Amino acid sequence: MTGTAFPPATSAPSSAAAVAELSAGARLRRRMFGQKSFVFGVGLLLVIVAVALLAPVLAPHDPYAQNLSQRMVPPFWYAKGGWEHLLGTDNLGRDYLSRLLYGARISLLIGLSVMVISGLIGTTLGLLAGYFGGKADLIVTFLITTRLAMPVILVALAVVAMVGGSLPVVILVLGLLKWDRFAVVMRSATQQARALDYVTAAEAAGASTPRIILGEILPNVFPQLIVVATLEAASAILLEAALSFLGLGVQPPLPSWGLMISEAKTYMFFSFWLIAIPGTLLALLVLSINLAGDGLRDVVAPEGRG
C-alpha cells in the first residue's frame, strides 16, 4: 500500500466486483444521466437545433422584410409591444423573432463547418505527429507553436477585412485558424494510443500504416476528438459573433446574432432588449454546447474533471 491507506487492499476485489455487476453500458448511462447539467445542455442544444431547422415554418414573418412604419417595436412584455411582433422589430422594422430564428442557423452552420474544417486539419496533423514522432512531431509541434503565437481575432479580422466579409469567408478563415487544439489533443492522445498493446500487435502483424492509424488509433482517440470538437464549435460561434459584432464578419442583411447586436448598439440606451435578446441566445447556445462537451469529457475521462 502506498501513501493513502484507502481502500484497504483486501476490499479492492470485492468492491470492484460490485461495480462490475453493472454492465459497462449501464455505468456509462448512469454517469451520463447522473449529471443533470449534461442532460440540460444536450436538451437545450437539441431545442436550438430543432428551432433552427424549422425556422421557415416557425418564423412568423420574412426575416428580411423591412417595414419602416413598424420600426423598433418593443417585445410583447413592454406596454408598447404587441402580438404581431412577439419580440418586436429592429431599426428597419424587420420582425426580430424571425431574424433570431434564422440567426440560429448561421451560428450553428458556423460552429459545424468550422469544426469540420479545423477538425480535419488538426486531427490529421495530430495523428501524424503522434504516430510517427521524430521529425514529423517536431514539425507539427512547431506549426502548433506558430499558430498559437498568432492572435486569432486579429488575423481573422485582418483577412476578412482584406478579402471582404461573407459567410463562406468567415467559415474558411476560422476553419484554417482554429485547428490548434485539435492538433494538440490528438497528438498526445495518439501517442498514448500508440503504446497500447493491440496497436503494437497490429504493427507486429504487419498491418499497413494507414490501416493502423485509421483502423486502430482513430477509434481509440475518437472520444477525445468529440470533446474537443464540441468545445471548438462553441468557440467558433463566439468568434464569428465577435467578428460580426466588429462589422468584419458576416455582412448585412444576414441575421447573425453578433451582427444584430452590432446593429443595435446605436440604440442600446433606449432599446436594450435589441442587444439583450441575441446576446442571451448566444450565451445559451454556447452554454448548451459547453455543458454537453463537459459531460462528454466526464464520460470519457471521469477522473479528470477540472
Residues that bind other proteins (CB under 8 A): 1-11, 13-19, 37, 142, 145-146, 148-155, 157-159, 161-163, 234, 238, 241-242, 245-248, 258, 261, 265, 268-269, 272, 275, 279, 282-284, 286-287, 290-291, 294, 304-306
In the complex, minimum distance from the CB of residue 180 to other proteins, in angstroms, rounded to a whole number: 12
- Residue 136 or 238 having the CB closest to other proteins: 238
- Residue 110 or 234 having the CB closest to other proteins: 234
In the complex, minimum distance from the CB of residue 19 to other proteins, in angstroms, rounded to a whole number: 5
Q: How far, in Å, are 120, 129, 131, 203, 296 from residue 136 at the CA level?
A: 17, 5, 9, 19, 30
Burial class (CB in 10 A: 0-12, 13-18, 19+), 86: middle
Partners of residue 95 on adjacent β-strands: 89
- Residue 221 or 259 having the CB closest to other proteins: 259
Q: How far apart are CA 142 and CA 117, in angstroms?
A: 20
Q: How far apart are CA 116 and CA 95, in angstroms?
A: 32
Closest CA to 104 of 285, 299, 295: 285
- Residue 32 or 159 having the CB closest to other proteins: 159
In the complex, minimum distance from the CB of residue 245 to other proteins, in angstroms, rounded to a whole number: 5
In the complex, minimum distance from the CB of residue 280 to other proteins, in angstroms, rounded to a whole number: 8
Q: What is the 3-state secondary structure (H, E, C) of 71-117?
A: CCCCCCCCCCCCCCCCCCECCCCCEHHHHHHHHHHHHHHHHHHHHHH
In the complex, minimum distance from the CB of residue 207 to other proteins, in angstroms, rounded to a whole number: 36
- Residue 27 or 71 having the CB closest to other proteins: 27
